Amino acid sequence: MNNHYDVIVVGAGLAGLSAANRLKEKGYSYNVIEASSRTGGKVQSVQRPKSGRSFELGAQFINPDMTELMKWIERAGMQLTETATPADAVSMIYPAKELSSEAIDEHEEELADWRTDLQGDDLRLSDLISRLSLTDTEKQAVASSYAELINLPLDQASARGVIELMTRYTSELEDSHQLNAPLADLIQYMTNTISEQICYDEAIVNIEETASGYRAVSDNHSYEADTVIMAVPPAVASKLTYSPALENRYRQALNSYLNGSIIKTTWVYDDPFWYDYNLNGDKEAIMDVVYTDPSGVTVVDSSKQGDGYRLTMFIGADAAIDIAKQSSREQMETALNLLENVFGSPARAFKDAEQSVWVDEPFCGGGYGAAVKYGGIPDAAEILRTPHGPFAFAASELAEQFPNHMEGAIRAGQAAVEQVIKLKNQQ
């Protein structure tokens, strides 16, 4: 077995799969080292053997601006289907039972203005939200949305770091589409083309520099290459040790990230009772619900055309951390109680359900991605996506566009390949 390669890719999530496929296209020798027993990272699906019904445990929603992801979908012979939410559906704040306001929709512009006002200083995200020109209920709704979106307690999150993250998400389209098949099928398609070059159950713990490049070391083996692409989330990458030069270059930026926490629950129903919701005397179709108590909880209509009616709940940050301490049965019941609080007894008439807990996951981290903590380097992503010689990080959190999304992971993997190969060829 060849033990020296042009490139070693550490991690077989979307960033790693994207990088490896690009390396294969360019004719370089490579090896992918994956710590777990599967590819895909935070993209994971389950399918019921009898009904054929599938659930996405991690990433799920897509928008057509995600062009690199769309290319893979088309290559695999798959298609998008639009989430089947009524056109007049509304967003609701609960328990206030108020419609989401235009001021909430426009709060990002005010946050962007704060980026200039901070002038290099930083705030806790909780402090910045408290300064927004919103009502108390609106502030609570915004705070809850961010607790779910970045999956961190807001008093631990860097306001500048979150604003910097937002500036890299430039699409104005809603993530209103889903794949017409399990996302695991797309992962398998990307895996099949490089399957012979993947080593599973091999957690890399150290990256050393050698006379000819780098050595990636696990507890049992070592792998040598001219170049290394670390395709793992930054908070996970921070657990490794590196050569002195890499430590000096990246350690502070790596330690700037905290893993998020999220619990995702999906229920399937015969009847979309949320399309006929009594909101203060008016009948409304509900598109999503933002809870302000507990904070960090949202529910969205995730129904796919021709695939039944579904609601998906995301529980993030402190709420996820607390619920993760419960038994799996208690976790499901806690989520169901929260749903029943809004929709009443029809919430319990589900015909199928699935739950996934992304809290302290050892190899993928938790939540949708890691976020910069208060006291960290707000522009840590820029530092980490800048190669040091023929060594580069690649993760969704670092992507120049669509961070913390599947599209960002694919782009990060591709960009890392272009960067390290360019630097390798210059040596």
Residue 214 phi/psi, 5° resolution?
-140, 155
Q: Per-residue pLDDT tens for 165-202?
A: 999 998 989 899 999 999 999 999 999 999 999 999 99
3-state secondary structure at position 412: helix
Domain 4-80+179-254+378-426 has CATH 3.40.50.920: no
As beta bridge partners, residue 225 has 5, 214
C-alpha to C-alpha distance for 214 and 206, rounded to whole angstroms: 10
**DSSP string computed for 110-131:** HHHHHHHHHTT---BHHHHHHT
- Per-residue pLDDT band for 117 (boundaries 50, 70, 90) equals confident
Amino acid at 378: P
> Quick one: pLDDT at residue 304?
87
Structure tokens at 404: 């913390």
Residue 321 phi/psi, 5° resolution?
-60, -40
Q: Per-residue pLDDT tens for 409-423?
A: 999 999 999 999 888
Of the two residues 110 and 265, the one the predictor is more confident about is 265
Structure tokens at 181: 């098949």
Domain 90-175+262-358: CATH architecture, name and number where available: Alpha-Beta Complex (3.90)
Domain boundaries, the chain: 4-80+179-254+378-426, 90-175+262-358
- Per-residue pLDDT band for 1 (boundaries 50, 70, 90) equals very low
- Per-residue pLDDT band for 89 (boundaries 50, 70, 90) equals very high
Q: Per-residue pLDDT tens for 288-311?
A: 999 999 999 999 999 988 788 999
As beta bridge partners, residue 12 has none
> Quick one: pLDDT at residue 278?
95
> Quick one: pLDDT at residue 400?
97
Q: Which of 359, 149, 384, 360 is nearest to 255 (CA)?
A: 384
> Quick one: pLDDT at residue 2?
55
> Quick one: pLDDT at residue 320?
97
C-alpha distances out from residue 155 to 83, 159, 418, Å: 33, 9, 37
Q: Per-residue pLDDT tens for 41-60?
A: 999 999 998 888 999 999 99
> Quick one: pLDDT at residue 220?
92
C-alpha distances out from residue 36 to 5, 32, 44, Å: 21, 12, 13
Residues 6+ apart with CB under 8 A from 330: 323
Q: Work out the end-to-end distance of the chain between its first and last CA atoms, rounded to an integer number of angstroms.
A: 27
Q: Per-residue pLDDT tens for 220-232?
A: 999 999 999 999 9
> Quick one: pLDDT at residue 366?
82
C-alpha to C-alpha distance for 190 and 194, rounded to whole angstroms: 7
Q: Per-residue pLDDT tens for 313-333?
A: 999 999 999 999 999 999 999
As beta bridge partners, residue 262 has 316, 358
Amino acid at 264: K
Q: Per-residue pLDDT tens for 119-140?
A: 678 999 999 999 999 999 999 9
Q: Model's pTM, two decimal places? A: 0.96
